[in-house]
Amino acid sequence: MKKLDLLITGVGGQGVILASNIISEAALAAGYDIKKTDTLGMAQRGGSVLSHVRIGRQVYSPLIKEGDVDIMLALEKLEAARWSHYLRAGAIAIVNNHTLPPPSVSLGNEQYPTDTAITELLKRRSGYVYFINATSRARELGNARTFNVFLLGCISPFTPFRISVWKGAIARCVPAKVEKLNHAAFDEGRKEIRGIRLRQGSM
Amino acid sequence: MAQMIRLLSGNEALALGAYHAGVEVATAYPGTPSTEILEAIARFGDIYAEWSTNEKVAMEVALGAAYAGARSLVSMKHVGLNVASDPFMAASMTGVSAGMVVISADDPGIHSSQNEQDNRHYARLAKVPMLEPSDSQEAYDFIANAFDTSERFDTPVLVRSTTRISHSKSLVKPKEKRTLPSRKSPFRCQVEKYVMVPAYARLRHKSVEERLVELASYADNFPLNKVTWGSRRLGVVTSGAAYQYAREVFPTASFLKLAMVYPLPENLIRHFAAQVKRLVVIEELDPFLEESIRALGIKIIGKEFIPRIGELNPEIIEEKSRSIGLLGNTPLRQRVELPPQLPKRHPRLCPGCPHTGILFVLSSIGQRTKTAKSEVRATEELGLIITGDIGCYTLGAYPPLSAMDTCACMGASIGQAIGIAKTSPASKVVAVIGDSTFLHSGVTPLLDAVYNQGEITVIILDNRTTAMTGHQDHPGTGVSAQGKETKAIQIEDLVRGMGISEVRVIDAFEIKKLRSALKDSLSSPDLSVIIVRGACSVRLPRHSEPMGIDTKKCNQCGVCLMLGCPALQSKGGQVYIDATLCVGDACAICRQICARQAIALQSEIGAIKS
């Protein structure tokens, strides 16, 4: 692998930073150079959050160049659309099929983009756009909050890390009492993406 | 045992570097992006670490420790150094005994600040050396060097980080353990060195100038400045985060990467410049390096193509370099257009925030509602002027609350309110300030209001923490930076002790009481203080049962949406409460303001849905 640039997007409080920490820990365990940077602004809760993770033999800039993202992991749909121009041609986009309307939308001042509009924006660069019902699937599995780790399971087949490396990274980043729950969410996410790709005949 | 490689943020690396370099005292006031430095170092039990009342005090405590022979570290955000600039300038004059390192974490791009001032200018102003790391490994390494340089030249040393360096993680190979320097003698009386009366200060100024000359010659052989030779057709002078971006954009160019950005290695720069055909400087914000290099008579370009506003990134450097022909015939990268205008997600007050109630009362009180529309507020004299301060509550300036008319810097709300009140007799003036900010720099302006009879109302939002930077303790919490129990300042006692008699302490979640307290205070001609007390909702243990909306009672008036609470949303004209966000009875402000009693606990209205 020459380089892998991942962009994780979402809303403050959803677990963007935890997801990017787990990816970075996995890359560390796999022996790569890593730079990771988070853009939070003043967002304690509810603002846009963006995390760049860059993995390779030697990484200089912590920021990914526009048009260079290999894998996008979006925890919310509007946040996937917002950074769609960062995808490279042929990138993978894994998008949580979940809507968190910003206040301007609730107040009726702005329109939340339609699913079609979001898909079109993402597909400008990538044919590999997957909408995953991660929030509801994680709830079925016992804890809706593990949806971000479920989504990590979905991106895992596109990364060079072994499953044991992923599991170890998850164990180092989540509290011990929810480790099992998160490992289960990861496994189910990995199965989910396999199922989708098999159905599409793209695996 | 093989060296353990760790993935550390710049801030964690700075803290670990200082610890391993034998720091004994660490001080700070929280401020993004510097906060995590003290948080990380306070975890080491064998040093003394404190959250100081403000950056000025933090600087003074660190300086005192350095005088007394202990290596000290003081960290702050860029604007914190403005607050601490007085003792900082003094520290340059007196010098230190043991090493003293001052970390300034700048914020190019204004991710979370009121400006993007370039604190490299402070190095020149104070005539002290400044080091600038470009990743976590350098952050770790440079700190140790900074302590040595500080002791060798008897000067405080500035280390400049930026948001991108402080908040990015990269690999660090740390040393195995902490090494304590041979402890210097305890505090010794050196009146000519430490007492800056004019007679001694004039002598010290001479020492400072001599030190600067020595530092400049040291800079030329400074081991951390690095030249990387590539093609001699282009030479790039750079430092910090800009170096990393430039390396990606110009993979084959020659680089002079400066670790010490003040004073500059003049001979090294001359040598480098003579070896390359074209010389450029790539630096964030001001042309700090550029102007000094040009002053050497060297032909160089920088801000002609690199913007002086905002944070740099590889795209900007690539695009601007192409525009002046630096990238030759390299193929243009394919790009797609930015997505069309998408709904923005401004940061906002959390569900259950103790600031929401009082800000809503301020925004909906008679004098304000008349001028609720921003175009009206911009043209008409305001019946109620609200001066704001630095903290989560600054978010109350955004619609729908729009309950803040100024925000300048820490503690400014009260002084500004006095000035406005003295000149606008027709308006009521309210200053809004948080507890941590009040103790940081609101106490002295409140004394000014007492002394000079400012006819204002000061609202102190007391959530018993420094919330915006991630819940650090302060003199009002009763807990130290290292988790020890200590004395808690009672704000009402402090305020009454200043001689203010009109002091009201109100529960942050009682809308009626907040409204009547505000009305009483505004109708009084005297200086009055309202302390609005309620815990930060992010620290609530677990949410109780959420509120819901009885759709049979709700008439879609939309008043509850004016709270700006993230849990209150609307879809297809019907307002609903996001049960995963609502904190329920711990807040219940929406319930209190609903004229139709349409909001109640979900079980009370039988509207159980997730």
Give the best residue of A45, A109, A112 to mutate against chain B (max B CB count within 10 A).
A45
Mean pLDDT confidence for B295-311: 97
Percentage of chain B modeled with pLDDT above 70: 97
Q: Residue B230, class by beta-carbon neighbours within 10 Å (0-12 exposed, 13-18 middle, 19+ buried)?
A: middle
Percent of chain A surpassing pLDDT 70: 97
Considering only CB atoms, B112 lies closest to which of A35, A42, A125, namely A42
- B-chain residues near A111 (CB < 8 A): 343
Closest to A103 (Cβ–Cβ): which among B168, B336, B348? Answer: B348
CB pair distance less than 8 Å for B335 and A66:
yes
Over residues B224-243, the mean pLDDT reads 98
pLDDT band at B333 (very low <50, low <70, confident <90, very high): confident
Whole-number pLDDT of residue B184: 67
Average pLDDT, chain B: 94
Class of domain B6-220 (CATH, top level): alpha beta
The predicted structure's pLDDT at residue A137: 94
Residue B239 confidence (pLDDT): 98
pLDDT at B540: 80
Q: What is the pLDDT of residue A96?
A: 97
Cα angle, residue B592 at apex, residues B587 and B598 outer, rounded to 5° = 110
Contact A44 B467 (CB under 8 A): yes
The DSSP symbol for B358 reads: H
Closest residue to B345, CB basis, from A36, A47, A61: A47
Q: What is the pTM of this model?
A: 0.95
**Exposed, middle or buried, B408 (CB in 10 Å: 0-12/13-18/19+)?**
middle
Query: How many angstroms separate the Cα of B374 from the Cα of each of A105, B229, B397, B560?
Result: 19, 57, 11, 20
pLDDT at residue B183, rounded to an integer = 65
Q: Does domain B226-323 match CATH 3.90.76.10?
A: no
Q: Span B453-479, mean pLDDT? A: 96
**Fold (topology level) of B356-539:** Rossmann fold (3.40.50)
CB contact under 8 A, B343 and A78: yes
CA distance B241 to B222: 20
Q: Which CATH architecture has domain B547-605?
A: 2-Layer Sandwich (3.30)
Q: Answer whether B572 touches A (CB < 8 Å).
A: no
The strand pair at B547-549 and B599-601 is best described as antiparallel
Residues of chain B contacting A6 with CB distance shorter than 8 Å: none
Test A36 with B170 for CB contact under 8 angstroms: yes
Which secondary-structure segment (H or E) carries B603? helix B602-605
Looking at the predicted structure, is the pLDDT value of residue B1 above 50? no
Helix (H, G, I), strand (E, B) or coil at B413: helix
pLDDT at A168 over 90: yes
Q: Are B387 and B459 in contact (CB under 8 A)?
A: no
Q: Does B566 touch chain A (CB under 8 A)?
A: yes
Domain positions in chain B: 6-220, 226-323, 356-539, 547-605
pLDDT digits (tens, 9 = 90+) for B63-103: 999 999 999 999 999 999 999 999 999 999 999 999 999 99
Domain residue limits at A74: 3-200
CB–CB contact A44 B112 (8 Å): no
CA–CA distance, B386 with B456 (Å, rounded to integer): 10
CA A78 vs. chain centroid, Å, equals: 13
Q: Does position B370 have pLDDT exceeding 80, yes or no?
A: no
Under 8 Å between Cβ of B600 and B550: yes
* pLDDT for residue B609: 46
Asked whether residue B434 carries a pLDDT value surpassing 60, the answer given is: yes
Asked if the model's pLDDT at residue A167 lies above 70, the reply is: yes
Predicted confidence at residue A42, as pLDDT, reads: 61
What is the rounded average pLDDT of the residues A3-23? 94
Q: ipTM, 2 decimals?
A: 0.94
The answer to whether the beta carbons of residues A109 and A91 sit under 8 Å apart is no
**Least CB-CB distance to A103: which of B171, B318, B564?**
B564
Q: List the end-to-end C-alpha distance of chain B, in Å, as a whole number.
A: 53
| The length of chain B, given as a count of residues | 610
Asked if pLDDT for residue B607 goes beyond 60, the answer is: no
CB count, 10 Å around CB of B488?
Answer: 14
The structural domain count of chain A equals 1
The yes-or-no answer to whether B6-220 and B547-605 have a common fold is no
CA A84 from centroid of its chain's CA atoms = 13
Give the range among A105-114, B139-148, B306-315 with minimum mean pLDDT: A105-114
Per-residue model confidence (pLDDT) at position B113: 94
Express each pLDDT in A17-67 by its tens digit: 999 999 999 999 999 999 999 987 665 567 889 999 999 999 999 999 999
Count CB pairs under 8 A between chains A and B.
147
Q: What does pLDDT average to over chain A?
A: 92
**Residue B472: count of CB within 10 angstroms of its CB:** 22
CATH of residue A164: 3.40.920.10
DSSP string of B218-233?
Answer: HHHT-TT-EEE--EEE
Residue B608: is its pLDDT beyond 50? no
